[in-house]
Amino acid sequence: MRTIQILDTTLRDGEQSAGVNLNGQEKLEIAKQLVRLGVDAIEAGFPIASPGDFEAVKQIAEQVKGTTIVGFARATKGDIDAVYESIKGAEAARVHLFIATSPIHMKYKLRKSPEEITEIAVEMVKYAKKYFHDVQFSAEDAGRSDLSFLTNITKHVIDAGATIVNIPDTVGYMMPAEYGYMFKRLKEDVPNIDKAILSAHCHDDLGLAVANTLAAIENGVDQVEGTINGIGERAGNAALEEVALSLYTRREFYQATTNFHLEQIARTSKLISKLTGMIVPGNKAVVGANAFAHESGIHQDGVLKESSTYEIIKPEVVGITSNTLVLGKHSGRHAFRERLITLGYSLDDEKINVAFQKFKELTMKKKEIIDDDLVMIVDDQQLKEQPFQLEYLHISGDIQVSTAMLRMKLPDGRIEEEAARGDGLIDAVYNTIDRLSGIKLKLKDYQIQSVGNGRDAAGDVHVKVEYKGKLYHGRGMSTNVVEASAKAYIDALNRIYTKRDVYRKQILKEIG
Ligand SMILES: [Zn+2]
């Protein structure tokens, strides 16, 4: 059995999904959970993109141990320097530098000849080698590149010291047989290929990201890249949980495994969905709510008699258990803290005390406190440190007209009060928030889900708002859905406020 190395790029490619804007604390939480999941490398971000990105990568490098931290860079000295400065504190560090190799990209985007591209790639790998032992080179848009040129540039960057060569299908154009064939040829034709690891990176524009990744594995690739839940640019990246489960379920076929702790998959998926606002569709493979639901009577009957009749994966394998651990009013501070740690939160004593107090208050309203309630408590607390904060909310109205009165803390510390009307309670609340912030946001999407079962379940609201042509997400939870809605909107507002990185967006546009 070979072990396939997994590079998770949820925090880089995944964060490039439209409407996803994670803050430093959220990135750190995700990184810690990825370590629990057992990823071999975390691509933490693109440090040159903005001071915020640089800082987030630095925090992850310094605080997240037990995995390799990777920083993304264009093939320029400035980008490589920024990666070095941000990740030098990591236990194990890697730079991932890229330059486009397809005729389309070379001609129109870079305006350079293949010879010039090879020269830059070699020079920059050598430059990166001064800082890093571990240097990953990516031939951007490799899928649409000339295979003999790829063979040639791969040989040269390996000679220059690249330890990993990534052959991405950047635009999601390849078919599995074609993509697999590229790796077969590179393995045969690049004379020094034994000195480096080949890597696959696929996008899902034609729904083939996972199939292409598996084709690459069949043809000898030793590292694959992707994201949890398959989030990422456009249609997204290869969903790592699907790749890992395919290798596990069909291990006799692939003769390959990963270092994944499969039972952490469900939790990781949930955390990332919550923090990014990218809701997992019910029918999504492995982690969708219906992935293990049998609806047809014939199927149900079969599964009851013998689960393997219709079930190729046992839900427990990916960490879905029917008996979720619940805390109640008799649970102590220690159990509470332990539970938060397993959920991926690391709070200092002071924050634990405040959160525990909130937990006790909630046990008065709800008998059983489930994991999602704890997430709500902790998130609330983190909202407290945000520039805009909800202080007080009063709503009234009938079916025709509603009125909301809100008190909010503003970024300069002032506490202001406003009231506004709207078509319905939530519209009234959002109009009031717009007045208080002075920023008019366009609501593009609003979704509400219940957290837990029963009538005392909390509401989990996700919104997408548009500001200056860009989408931002926000989320809020509360046992009152109007309050949850207000919190979600204010969360989006805070993300807009804390993101002052025009430069970053320019770069992302440039790399596509
Ligand atoms: Zn990508």
366 phi and psi angles, rounded to 5 deg: -130, 140
Token pair recorded at residue 214: 């598996």
383 C-alpha to ligand 1 centroid (Å): 31
What the block records as the tokens of 155 is 């040989």
Of the candidates 106, 127, 126, the one whose C-alpha atom is nearest the C-alpha of residue 117 is 106
Q: Residue 313 Cα, ligand 1 centroid: separation in angstroms? A: 29
Residue 511 is predicted with a pLDDT of 47
Q: How far is the CA of 94 from the centre of ligand 1 (A)?
A: 17
Q: How far is the CA of 226 from the centre of ligand 1 (A)?
A: 8
CA of 204 to the centre of ligand 1 (A): 10
Q: What does the alpha-carbon distance between residue 448 and residue 488 come to, in Å, rounded to a whole number?
A: 10
CATH code at 386-498: 3.30.160.270
**CA–centroid distance, residue 382 to ligand 1 (Å):** 31
Spacing, Cα 289 to ligand 1 middle (Å): 26
Task: Determine the distance separating the centroid of ligand 1 and the alpha carbon of 13, expressed in angstroms.
Answer: 6
Q: What is the pTM of this model?
A: 0.83
Residue 494 CB-half CA count within 13 A: 24
Same fold yes or no, 2-276 and 386-498: no
CA of 504 to the centre of ligand 1 (A): 16
Residue 235 amino acid letter: A
Q: Which CATH number fits domain 2-276: 3.30.565.10, 3.20.20.70, 3.10.105.10, 1.10.260.40?
A: 3.20.20.70
Which element (helix H / strand E) includes 136?
Answer: strand 134-140
Distance 224 CA to ligand 1 centre (A): 12
**405 alpha carbon – ligand 1 mean position (Å):** 45
What was the pLDDT predicted at 349? 86
Question: What is the distance in A from the centroid of ligand 1 to the CA of 314?
Answer: 31
C-alpha–C-alpha distance, residues 468 and 175, integer Å: 37
Distance (angstroms) between ligand 1 centre and the Cα of 467 equals: 25
Residue 500 Cα to ligand 1 middle (Å): 24
Centre of ligand 1 to C-alpha 227, Å, is 10
Residue 396 CB partners (closer than 8 Å, separation 6+): 402, 403
Average pLDDT, 10 consecutive residues per value, the chain (512 residues): 97 89 89 96 95 94 97 97 97 97 91 94 98 97 95 98 98 97 98 98 98 98 98 96 97 97 93 89 89 77 80 87 69 85 78 88 81 78 78 90 94 92 94 92 92 78 91 89 95 82 47 44
**Which pLDDT belongs to residue 78?**
97
Q: What are the sequence ranges of the domains in the chain? A: 2-276, 293-322, 333-382, 386-498
325 burial via Cβ count (<10 Å: 0-12, 13-18, 19+): exposed
Residue 352 CB contacts under 8 Å (≥ 6 apart), including other chains = 333, 336, 337, 340
**Alpha carbon of 193 to ligand 1 centroid (Å):** 23
In the reported structure, the alpha carbon of residue 49 is separated from the centroid of ligand 1 by a whole-number distance in angstroms of 16
**Cα–Cα distance measured from residue 284 to residue 290, given in angstroms and rounded to the nearest whole number:** 8
